[in-house]
Structure 1
Amino acid sequence: MKEIIDSHIHLDLYSPNEVDAILAGLDSAGCTDVISVSYHLESCLRNLLLAEKYCQVHPAFGFHPEQKLPSDSEIQDLFSWMEKHKEQMVAVGEVGLPYYLRSEKGDNFAIEGYIELLDQFILRAKNWNKPVILHAVYDDAPIACELMEKHGVEKAHFHWFKGDSKTVRRMIENGWFISITPDVIYEQEIQELVKQYPLEQMMVETDGPWRFKGQFSQKMTHPGMIHDTVAAIASIKNYRQEEVYQTFYKNTVDFYKLNLV
């Protein structure tokens, strides 16, 4: 079995028993490491504890945008905590813009505060020399692109990206990365993205504990599912699976500067 890295998982959102089962089964699944992204300050704390307990876990700290904006004091608490622990994180994330929340709330939804918060996260990532892990899809993606171009961000990872071809070309030209989820097996939209995007700017992820359909229905999301993702991508792009495995592994190690023993 070829080696994989899950480049985007919310490990702290699993139950303690599920976390233990996932990490105990990484070796047998051929997964050497996971990038565990954070949802808010409490999530950051949990991910840091997981990273201190398990060497395979590499934490990213941030604030997921698909929720109510934090207060000014909560934002400052998070920024202060991240500053204190910046050497222990591999990236700023997950951060971005609330496309799904905005779609749910309707036209009166105020996005300005989310844009300002994302701008602050991007600025800090730039100052800390850390990659940015982005949740920015469809109409929100160009806004995120504009902010990152403003700050000259070179290392950006758009996870589970969805958007138009113009934005995809913009991301490719900027050298930014995407990661592909197991739904590439049954979602035409993701299959089309894989056709467009260079393998050299691609990684793989689960976004667990998010559940998938098709052959994964009723199953707990596990990094081992990435092997099916790799097979699907190799078929779509007409590459040998061995080459896809090697490229994704190297991409993730280099992007996150993982010091693997």
Structure 2
Amino acid sequence: MTYPIIDAHIHLDMYTELQQHKILNEMNAESVEALISVSNHYQSALTNIKLSEMNQSVKMAIGYHPEQALPSDQEINHLFELLSNRTEDIIAIGEVGLPYYRRKENQELILKPYIDLLEMFIQISVKLDKPIILHAIYEDADLVIELLEKYNVKKAYFHWFKGSYNTIQRLLKNNYMISITPDCVYEQEIQTIIRHYPMELMMVETDGPWSFEYPFNEEITHPKMIHSSIQKIAEIKQLSETKVYKVMYENTKQFYELDA
């Protein structure tokens, strides 16, 4: 028997229409109650708005993914207008953060404009009283924590977190959430994080359509993969799967205020 799950972070707009229909049509059969679909940019946000209007199980977040060129002033204005005009419809600010992988490819990339943009999103998350979904790994996470502390942000979620033990301690000090992806089935680094991080500050996600390795080779990333993640978390934490299902479910509902 499987219990209900919520995909805490997915890019539903990046799937083909056929794949979107397949995922949405299979949600009930796979015990998937809701999808939190994050936005990469303005057009992505518009698509997520349409998807959420078509299906109430799709909950949308609006943000600008940092692993791309900076947006124009016009796009920034459009995004913030959307956030102001659709406040009641959006569930969170995201995906936002810092360009870790982009900087690895181009070490001459100037980080400050990305920090400034992120600070703007943090400020509006506080103003609108919305949780914020962050792309911030390794040393970038420490920079982001400083910004969050500056604005006294309470509801922050470091999706697919990777980082040092010291960074984990800073996250824990602030009660910030992290998420576990299906690579926990085979990645030692993620398994170590599961051991060290309390389940009460954890959610599960796919980050689809990002693909995963064995045992998910050549599979389209689907929210049902979360069931495998929960099995692995239960194994590592030495808890019953029932317990893990219930905690992950309640954590996600509370973080996103899905009952509000």
TM-score band by shorter chain is: over 0.9
Q: Distance in 1 between matches of 2:18 and 2:237?
A: 37
Q: Which amino acid aligns with 2:257?
A: K
Q: Secondary structure at the match of 1:215?
A: coil
1:62-211 matches, cutoff 5 A: 62-106=63-107, 108-211=108-211
Q: Secondary structure at the match of 2:133?
A: strand
The equivalent residue for 2:49 is 48
Equivalent pair of 2:66/2:99 in contact (CA under 8 Å): yes
Q: What's the CA shift for 1:259?
A: 3.0
Q: Which amino acid aligns with 2:178?
A: I
The equivalent residue for 1:36 is 37
- TM-score scaled by length of structure 2: 0.98
Q: Which range moved further: 165-174 or 78-87?
A: 78-87
Q: What's the CA shift for 1:32?
A: 0.7
Q: Which amino acid aligns with 2:72?
A: S
Q: Which amino acid aligns with 1:56?
A: S
**Which whole-Å deviations, capped at 9, do the CAs of 1:195-242 have from their partners, x for residues lacking one?**
010000000000000000011000000000000000000000111110
Q: Which range moved further: 206-215 or 82-91?
A: 82-91
Q: Distance in 2 between matches of 1:95 and 1:76?
A: 16
**Which whole-Å deviations, capped at 9, do the CAs of 1:56-112 have from their partners, x for residues lacking one?**
000000000000001222211211121111111000000000000000012x11000
Structure 2: unaligned runs, 5 residues or longer: none
The equivalent residue for 1:254 is 254
Q: Secondary structure at the match of 1:86?
A: coil
Equivalent pair of 2:62/2:79 in contact (CA under 8 Å): no
- Amino-acid identity (%): 47
**Divergent runs of 4+, >4 A:** none
Q: Secondary structure at the match of 2:29?
A: helix
Q: Distance in 1 between matches of 2:82 and 2:225?
A: 33
Q: Which amino acid aligns with 1:11?
A: L
C-alpha RMSD over aligned residues: 0.8
Q: Which amino acid aligns with 1:37?
A: V
The equivalent residue for 1:20 is 21
Q: Distance in 1 between matches of 2:175 and 2:195?
A: 17
Q: Which amino acid aligns with 1:216?
A: F
Q: Secondary structure at the match of 1:227?
A: helix
Q: Which structure is higher in helix share?
A: 1
**Which whole-Å deviations, capped at 9, do the CAs of 1:176-208 have from their partners, x for residues lacking one?**
100100000100000000001000000000000
Q: Which amino acid aligns with 2:223?
A: P
Equivalent pair of 2:45/2:62 in contact (CA under 8 Å): yes
Structure 1: unaligned runs, 5 residues or longer: none
Q: Distance in 2 between matches of 1:26 and 1:144?
A: 34
Q: Distance in 1 between matches of 2:4 and 2:216?
A: 21
Q: What's the CA shift for 1:3?
A: 0.9
